[in-house]
Structure 1
Amino acid sequence: METTEIPRSSFAFDTVFAQLENGLTPQGVVLDSEQYDLAQQVVKFLQEATSDDATQLGQVGYFVYGPPGRGKTWLMTQLFEAAPYPVGTKRQVHFHDFFRGLQRQLGAKTSTREAIEATLNELLTGTQLFFFDELHVHDPGSAALLNRLLAVIAKRGIPTLITSNYAPENLLQEPAFHHVIEPSITILREHFSVQALDGGTDYRSLHAARDSGFASGRWLVAEPGDHPYQVLRSAGYMPPRPTEATTVLEGHRALKALAVRDKEIWFDFADLLQARSVTSDFMDLTEDYDHWVLTGIPKLSQTDPASRQRFVTLIDVLVDRDIPLVACATVSRESLADMEEPPPDLFRTQSRLALLRGQ
């Protein structure tokens, strides 16, 4: 494979590339040509961003998009972590954490504008390298916040890495609201290097099971006539007794759990996702419980749109926090999403569920 020479510095490409190779080798995967080329470009950008001539940079970062499982988050995370910035000056934020921070500020500020500015100050003050992972925008409120975030990043010249499943022009695709996202599209095209990453392979479908984290979980199927608890018991999990049922969270956020066992929590799909649960509920629960079991997962076409979207969000949160999930469903992963109008981002969920071990 031919490569271009990249100047040596404290951020040496050969060292970073060795880390990338070592990280992938245990799963039997090597960098494809697109990943390799992109890594070279980003390393060179980060070298220049940490040099004495950083103020002469013509761009503030990279926006990397493509289908799920192509290695966007993994590759950018490796480069982000290896970049030689002082401790405490690098900030990595997942999409859901970003908007959770805004929700906290909305409760403390008198206006939306004040809340937005407080959120941005909390994120960016003292930040010398920013990584925004899994950007996706499906509503005008999120678009307005993104507009302000990108404007501040561009104005301050903060080196930034962004990953997404969507090209800039495909963010907020709803025709009635697409105009709201146009300022962000303009900033991305004018101030970022926009790169597609799609080597044609969903690497999540090839990875071997892990001993920890989300990919150490299971996808179990209860066939017609099988009780889900029988399937779980056969797989080595002790189903909860009726006396273990409890309530988690408080007040209007209260949710019924089948069981809580130290750091392990059990939910039924209907109790968790057909209830009025929201993203912040899932995020708060992951702070207390680091192993999840979800039973009664139906074919998503048999549920309402809000429940489907909550399922997508739940998987996002569990993957981002690398929390093991044991899922017991009535259908296979392949049949889970058979429907005419799937919710936004369900394609990403399907890719992530491929990480779970089968029966």
Structure 2
Amino acid sequence: METWLKDKLRGDWQIWFIIAVLSLFSVLVVYSASSALAYKRAGGNTESYLLSHTIHLLLGLGVIWCMHRINYTNFAGVSRLLLWITPVLLLYTYFFGTTVGGTKRWINIFGISFQSSDLVRLVLITNLAAMLARRQNVEYNPKTLLGLIFWCGLLCGMLAVTNFSTAVILGLTCFIIMWVGRVPARYLFRMAGFVMGAIIIVLSTSIFLYNRGVDFGRGQVVLERIEAFTNTDLNRDKVVGNADRDDTYQRDQAMIAIARGGAIGIGPGKSFQRNYLPEAFSDYIYAIIVEEYGFLGAIVIMFMYLWLLYRGLKNVENTNRAFGGLLCVGLTFSIVFQAFVHMFINVGLGPVTGQTLPLMSMGGTSILFTSVAIGIVLSVTKGEHDEGKVAALK
């Protein structure tokens, strides 16, 4: 049995263990957090959302298994092609996407709905790792680095139109990859400045057009949520936040859930705030975890993500392949940073945003894209591939 498992589940067994724990715990929490909503929408069937989430988790595990069996160097060529498609995809999303939560983030292609930001993040990280890996043994030239900086700024700026927090997460992830890839400091700071500048320009333009009656992007919403969080009238309009939208409601309800949880929680399935906290099964699932399992359970979940990050960084030391090492850093950091943004917001350490908790929040294609990323990381940890294909892609 042990030999069979080693043959079928290759790569870092500790990452496999982390995936299993988070997935199993996710089933319990999502069932509790979604049961009230499922009862209202599914005619009393409180298991409907649980069944849907379980199916997506099983599909995700299948995706992880399939991806980890593939030579990860094959993704370099595919991502290079997709990189040229991503700007068009983001434009298509903005003009023809499906509106969810007041913004167009979802698109439907061949009957499959997904957030374009999930694909963009995966493609940019893979491309950045491949581009840097090809130049680990040669001196960087300005043209190459300016090309990398351009793509980071372009895609992060376009993402900021509809998804500010994801744009920030992606920009920081790109910075970390370039830092690990030993990019000269002057270009690192140029990259950071270009990405920040692109995001600020997009948000400023959005706010400017909003004040003139033109609906473009989420700049005004971002500003209002920051105002609500800091309780400061940043734009001097004598209104803090949005008078027609209570940007503190979710935070207040999450704080009540956390206060009820205390040290050991009120028990699995006994959440009271799930009846009042919007998006309790996705954007605010960590607050439900604290309520039911207390700070003890919350720390365990936080530790699992830190453990995942540690294994991602540890596997960099265990491989002499630049592409694989940079992929591990980029993909694991992206997942873990998203998790911590989610957790910090849930406990009131940041303004309201729409970041889910990877592998734990209820979702469809978001789980699958996260599974693709983890599958690629596991493929790297097998340590049995030749990166000659990456070097050939020039």
Shared fold per TM-score greater than 0.5: no
- Structure with the bigger percentage of strand: 1
TM-score, normalising length from structure 1?
A: 0.27
User: Higher relative CO (CA 8 A, sep ≥ 6), structure 1 or 2?
Assistant: 2
